């Protein structure tokens, strides 16, 4: 059967380079292994001609859309465009279908949605369609039947990740993708045991309660074999990023991976680390394996917001200590931060800036807080009446989706622009701050022209100085 994956993503102008999606890669590899044909359509901006052309050229039997909640607003339009040239089943899977199924199932034109891990449900569905068997009882699926919604149960988590084939990178046009940005992305584990209130993992874990181990790792043999295969097939790969939520939680596994990686791979790599899950020995292990950068969530400098609102049980001292540990062993640190969180005020943002300075992060990334469906912070914002109807497409946009009493939209936009300067170049910050405040007409010239220019220049210098010519990836707060 011919299966077309449609990947919803943020428009290219927000990203420095295109990315590879592990989830779709995994699904596509499995379908190919079972003899099906797959293709991919990436949808950032909706271009009807592009959609129509793909439908004509590939002529799929089934379409499967993958979307996180950021693109929920665009989904009805995309399904409508697909329906213009396609009569077969259109499914929706991924984060949005998993954490906001009641909303997702209402999208006109969908045949059904798939919650949670999609590999086995999708295979079963294709088999049913092929053989004409009843597909309505497949676990993980929800279907609409007139006024009724069929909400099927969820099957246990996939325990043995080694049983899955390596993700298919070919449908991502991987040679070209790496030519643009030679950083290959990998994930060797699934799941996170923490319950941070702003992250989808807590909801994911609620859904799967009693359905198997939360965190699962592929064997180190399997992980190394995948990296070697990618290196062989795509010699453009010069650097690696591990996107795992919890790479450093299982120390024995990590030790084994680092030892083998150092001997058999050796390429520089970056990874996410959850503060509180590392010690100096782990940091040294990573360093010896050629880890050049770790990305850790500081998120909030204010104790009440960090501990009570985000439910991140970490003290300022824990955070500072872990950042210093990596500095000590010679690994660069990248801090994820949010502004505009519930109960945020300019003062609490100042606390976040201060904590970043105390942690001495080499790079401080900031994004505007976005309360995604299924998270506790979303419920809080709804209860407080703070949720606006402004877009939540990417948290790199300048606008907060919240209207809360202690913080204006202008303050969020201002701090979003000044944050990095305040942390990393405090001497330049007053000047940048002043420039940011000059209003010219409706738009602000500095915001729209000068600031992006400074930013581009800064990125260029920073990347070439610190990371080398190979780095152009743009990570984001993946939760860590
Ligand atoms: C790696 C990662 C990235 C990478 C790669 C993105 C990509 N396209 O995969 C980068 C850095 C580029 C990235 C960017 C962003 N990300 Co991100 N990212 C992740 C992360 C950490 C892992 C995703 C992953 O690969 N998981 C592993 C695979 C195996 O799981 P999966 O993708 O869920 O796929 C499985 C199922 O969902 C299902 N499935 C998925 N699609 C489909 C389709 C069909 C048809 C079916 C049947 C099943 C199915 O089957 C798959 C296999 O089991 C997640 C957090 C997480 N732990 O999931 C956040 C996460 C998905 N990202 C998030 C966000 C917000 C973003 C950004 C919008 C941030 C921004 N810049 O503003 C961008 C948007 C990216 C885009 N699509 O344009 C949020 C989404 C929240 C939400 N509720 O919407 C998450 C959940 C993190 C969080 N804060 O909680 N991200
Ligand atoms: S924010 Fe990080 S540590 Fe917290 S649940 Fe999400 S992935 Fe896990």
CATH of residue 97: 3.40.50.280
Same domain, 385 and 314: yes
Q: What is the mean pLDDT of residues 93-120?
A: 97
What local confidence, expressed as pLDDT, does residue 468 receive? 40
Same domain, 23 and 79: yes
Residue 152 Cα, ligand 2 centroid: separation in angstroms? 27
Please report which ligand is nearest the Cα atom of 370. 1
The three-class DSSP label of residue 293 is: strand
Q: Is the CB of 99 under 6 A from ligand 1?
A: yes
Same domain, 218 and 318: yes
Same domain, 202 and 269: yes
Same domain, 141 and 201: no
Residue 474 within any structural domain of the chain: no
Indicate if the pLDDT at residue 472 is higher than 50.
no
Strand segments, DSSP code E, in 161-237 are 183-186, 189-190, 216-217
Residue 398 within any structural domain of the chain: yes
Q: What percent of the chain has pLDDT over 90?
A: 80
What local confidence, expressed as pLDDT, does residue 461 receive? 67
Q: What is the mean pLDDT of residues 314-336?
A: 97
Same domain, 141 and 250: no
Per-residue tokens: 153: 């149960």
Question: CA 260 to CA 265: how far, in whole Å?
Answer: 8
What local confidence, expressed as pLDDT, does residue 462 receive? 58
Same domain, 432 and 305: yes
The three-class DSSP label of residue 299 is: strand
Closest atom, ligand 2, to C-alpha of 202:
5
Q: Is the CB of 325 under 6 A from ligand 1?
A: no
Residue 478 within any structural domain of the chain: no
Closest atom, ligand 1, to C-alpha of 474:
11
Domain finish residue from 99, 132, 151: 151
Sheet holding 332-339, edge to edge: 183-186, 239-242, 269-273, 291-299, 332-339, 363-368
Same domain, 105 and 208: no
Residue 115 within any structural domain of the chain: yes
The whole domain housing 352 covers: 182-468
Please report which ligand is nearest the Cα atom of 65. 1
Nearest CA to ligand 2 atom 3: 480
Count CB neighbours of 386 within 10 A: 17
What local confidence, expressed as pLDDT, does residue 290 receive? 98
Same domain, 263 and 188: yes
DSSP states of 357-418 as a string?
Answer: HHHT-SEEEEEE----TTSHHHHHHHHHT-B-SS--S-TTSS--SB-BTTB-HHHHHHHHHH
What local confidence, expressed as pLDDT, does residue 389 receive? 85
**H-helix or E-strand containing 352?**
helix 346-359
What local confidence, expressed as pLDDT, does residue 146 receive? 85
Residue 246 Cα, ligand 2 centroid: separation in angstroms? 8
| DSSP-assigned beta bridge partners for residue 363 | 334
The model's confidence at residue 477, banded by pLDDT at 50, 70 and 90, is very low
Which letter, b or e, does each residue of 94-129 get, where b requires 16 or more Cβ atoms within 10 Å of its Cβ? Answer: bbbbbbbbeebbebeebbbbbbbbbbbbbbbbbeeb
Q: What is the mean pLDDT of residues 380-402?
A: 84
Domain finish residue from 110, 131, 151: 151
pLDDT per residue over 21-40, tens digit each?
999 999 999 999 999 999 99
CA 410 to chain centre: 27
Same domain, 318 and 423: yes
The model's confidence at residue 17, banded by pLDDT at 50, 70 and 90, is confident
What local confidence, expressed as pLDDT, does residue 425 receive? 83
Tell me if 118 sits within 8 A of 23, measured CB to CB: yes
Residue 95 Cα, ligand 1 centroid: separation in angstroms? 7
Number of domains observed in the structure of the chain = 2
Domain finish residue from 134, 151, 168: 151
pLDDT per residue over 433-465, tens digit each?
777 666 655 555 555 666 667 767 766 665 555
Task: For residue 427, give the CATH number of its domain.
Answer: 3.20.20.70
Residues 6+ apart with CB under 8 A from 290: 261, 262, 266, 267, 268, 269
Residue to mutate, 68, 158, 240, ligand 1, most ligand atoms under 8 Å from C-beta: 68
Closest atom, ligand 1, to C-alpha of 19:
12
pLDDT per residue over 332-359, tens digit each?
999 999 999 999 999 999 999 999 999 9
Q: Is the CB of 480 under 6 A from ligand 2?
A: yes
Same domain, 191 and 144: no
Residue 18 Cα, ligand 1 centroid: separation in angstroms? 14
Residue 370 Cα, ligand 1 centroid: separation in angstroms? 15
DSSP 243: -
């Amino acid at each position: 059967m011919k299966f077309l994956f449609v990947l919803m993503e943020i428009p290219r102008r927000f990203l420095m380079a295109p990315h590879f999606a592990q989830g779709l890669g995994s699904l596509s590899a499995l379908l190919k292994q079972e003899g099906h044909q797959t293709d991919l359509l990436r949808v950032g901006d909706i271009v009807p001609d592009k959609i129509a052309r793909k439908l004509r050229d590939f002529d799929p039997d089934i379409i499967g859309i993958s979307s996180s909640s950021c693109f929920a607003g665009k989904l009805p339009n995309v399904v409508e465009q697909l329906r213009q040239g396609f009569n077969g089943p259109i499914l929706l899977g991924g984060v949005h279908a998993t954490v906001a199924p009641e909303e997702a199932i209402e999208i006109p034109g969908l045949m059904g949605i798939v919650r949670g891990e999609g590999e086995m449900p999708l295979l079963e569905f294709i088999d049913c369609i092929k053989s004409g068997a009843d597909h309505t009882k497949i676990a993980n699926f929800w279907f609409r039947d007139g006024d009724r919604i069929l909400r099927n149960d969820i099957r246990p988590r996939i325990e043995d990740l080694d049983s899955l084939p390596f993700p298919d990178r070919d449908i991502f046009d991987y040679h070209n993708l790496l030519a643009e940005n030679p950083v290959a992305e990998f994930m060797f584990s699934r799941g996170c045991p923490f319950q941070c209130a702003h992250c989808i993992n807590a909801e994911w874990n609620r859904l799967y309660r009693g359905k198997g181990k939360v965190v699962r790792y592929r064997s180190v043999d399997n992980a190394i074999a995948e990296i070697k295969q990618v290196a062989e097939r795509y010699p453009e790969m010069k650097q690696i990023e591990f996107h795992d939520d919890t790479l450093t939680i299982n120390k024995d596994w990590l030790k084994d991976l680092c030892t083998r990686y150092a001997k058999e791979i050796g390429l520089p790599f970056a990874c996410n680390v959850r503060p509180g899950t590392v010690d100096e020995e782990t940091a040294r292990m990573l360093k010896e394996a050629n880890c050049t950068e770790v990305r850790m969530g500081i998120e909030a400098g204010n104790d009440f917001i960090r501990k009570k609102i985000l439910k991140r049980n970490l003290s300022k001292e824990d955070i500072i200590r872990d950042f210093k540990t990596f500095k000590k062993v010679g690994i660069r640190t990248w801090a994820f931060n949010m502004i505009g969180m519930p109960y945020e005020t300019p003062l609490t943002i100042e606390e976040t800036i201060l904590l970043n300075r105390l942690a001495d992060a080499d790079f401080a990334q900031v994004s505007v807080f976005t309360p995604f469906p299924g998270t506790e912070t979303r419920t809080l914002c709804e209860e407080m009446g703070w949720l606006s109807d402004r877009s939540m497409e990417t948290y790199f946009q300048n606008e907060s989706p919240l209207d809360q009493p202690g913080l204006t939209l202008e303050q969020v936009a201002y701090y979003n622009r000044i944050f990095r300067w305040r942390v990393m170049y405090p001497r330049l910050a007053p000047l940048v701050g002043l420039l940011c405040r000059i209003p010219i007409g409706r738009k602000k010239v500095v915001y729209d022209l000068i600031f992006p220019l400074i930013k581009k220049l800064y990125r260029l210098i920073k990347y070439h100085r610190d990371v080398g010519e190979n780095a152009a990836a743009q990570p984001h707060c993946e939760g860590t």
